[in-house]
Amino acid sequence: MNELNLEVRRHMDDALERHMEEEDRRFNELQHEIQEMRQDIKSLTYAWQQAKGVVSFMKWVAGIGGSIGAWFLFFKDHWK
Protein backbone atom coordinates (compact mmCIF):
# COMPACT_ATOMS: atom_id res chain seq x y z
CA MET A 1 0.00 0.00 0.00
CA ASN A 2 2.85 2.35 0.85
CA GLU A 3 4.56 1.59 -2.47
CA LEU A 4 1.29 2.32 -4.30
CA ASN A 5 0.98 5.71 -2.61
CA LEU A 6 4.61 6.45 -3.44
CA GLU A 7 4.02 5.52 -7.10
CA VAL A 8 0.88 7.68 -7.27
CA ARG A 9 2.80 10.53 -5.68
CA ARG A 10 5.63 10.20 -8.23
CA HIS A 11 3.14 10.12 -11.08
CA MET A 12 1.40 13.24 -9.76
CA ASP A 13 4.74 15.02 -9.26
CA ASP A 14 5.76 14.18 -12.83
CA ALA A 15 2.44 15.37 -14.19
CA LEU A 16 2.66 18.55 -12.13
CA GLU A 17 6.22 19.19 -13.33
CA ARG A 18 5.20 18.74 -16.98
CA HIS A 19 2.25 21.05 -16.44
CA MET A 20 4.44 23.72 -14.82
CA GLU A 21 6.98 23.48 -17.68
CA GLU A 22 4.18 23.93 -20.21
CA GLU A 23 2.78 26.89 -18.29
CA ASP A 24 6.24 28.49 -18.06
CA ARG A 25 6.69 28.06 -21.81
CA ARG A 26 3.29 29.60 -22.52
CA PHE A 27 4.03 32.46 -20.11
CA ASN A 28 7.33 33.20 -21.86
CA GLU A 29 5.60 33.14 -25.26
CA LEU A 30 2.97 35.57 -24.00
CA GLN A 31 5.64 37.90 -22.64
CA HIS A 32 7.35 37.85 -26.03
CA GLU A 33 4.07 38.59 -27.83
CA ILE A 34 3.34 41.46 -25.43
CA GLN A 35 6.76 42.98 -26.15
CA GLU A 36 6.08 42.77 -29.89
CA MET A 37 2.67 44.38 -29.44
CA ARG A 38 4.20 47.19 -27.37
CA GLN A 39 6.52 48.00 -30.26
CA ASP A 40 3.61 47.90 -32.71
CA ILE A 41 1.54 50.16 -30.46
CA LYS A 42 4.41 52.64 -30.16
CA SER A 43 4.74 52.74 -33.94
CA LEU A 44 1.00 53.13 -34.36
CA THR A 45 0.87 55.92 -31.78
CA TYR A 46 3.71 57.74 -33.52
CA ALA A 47 1.94 57.43 -36.89
CA TRP A 48 -1.33 58.62 -35.35
CA GLN A 49 0.35 61.71 -33.88
CA GLN A 50 1.98 62.50 -37.21
CA ALA A 51 -1.36 62.13 -38.99
CA LYS A 52 -3.02 64.45 -36.48
CA GLY A 53 -0.28 67.01 -37.11
CA VAL A 54 -0.77 66.79 -40.89
CA VAL A 55 -4.55 67.16 -40.53
CA SER A 56 -4.11 70.18 -38.26
CA PHE A 57 -1.71 71.76 -40.76
CA MET A 58 -4.13 71.12 -43.63
CA LYS A 59 -6.97 72.70 -41.64
CA TRP A 60 -4.76 75.72 -40.98
CA VAL A 61 -3.85 75.98 -44.69
CA ALA A 62 -7.52 75.66 -45.68
CA GLY A 63 -8.49 78.37 -43.18
CA ILE A 64 -5.82 80.74 -44.45
CA GLY A 65 -6.69 79.94 -48.08
CA GLY A 66 -10.38 80.48 -47.41
CA SER A 67 -9.82 83.81 -45.72
CA ILE A 68 -7.50 85.00 -48.52
CA GLY A 69 -10.11 83.90 -51.07
CA ALA A 70 -12.86 85.70 -49.17
CA TRP A 71 -10.79 88.91 -48.99
CA PHE A 72 -9.97 88.59 -52.68
CA LEU A 73 -13.66 88.25 -53.61
CA PHE A 74 -14.62 91.11 -51.28
CA PHE A 75 -12.11 93.50 -52.82
CA LYS A 76 -12.84 92.30 -56.34
CA ASP A 77 -16.56 93.05 -55.93
CA HIS A 78 -16.06 96.42 -54.17
CA TRP A 79 -13.24 97.94 -56.27
CA LYS A 80 -14.69 98.38 -59.68
Render pLDDT for 14-63 as a digit per residue (tens, 0 to 9).
Answer: 999 999 999 999 999 999 999 999 999 999 999 999 999 999 999 999 99
Q: Please indicate whether residue 9 or residue 38 has the higher confidence score (pLDDT).
A: 38
Using CA atoms of 21, 24, 29, 32 in order, give the dihedral in degrees to the nearest 10. Answer: -140
3-state secondary structure of 80: coil
Q: Please indicate whether residue 80 or residue 16 has the higher confidence score (pLDDT).
A: 16
80: pLDDT strictly greater than 80: no
Single-letter residue type at 41: I
Q: How many CA atoms lie within 13 A of 12 on its CB side?
A: 6
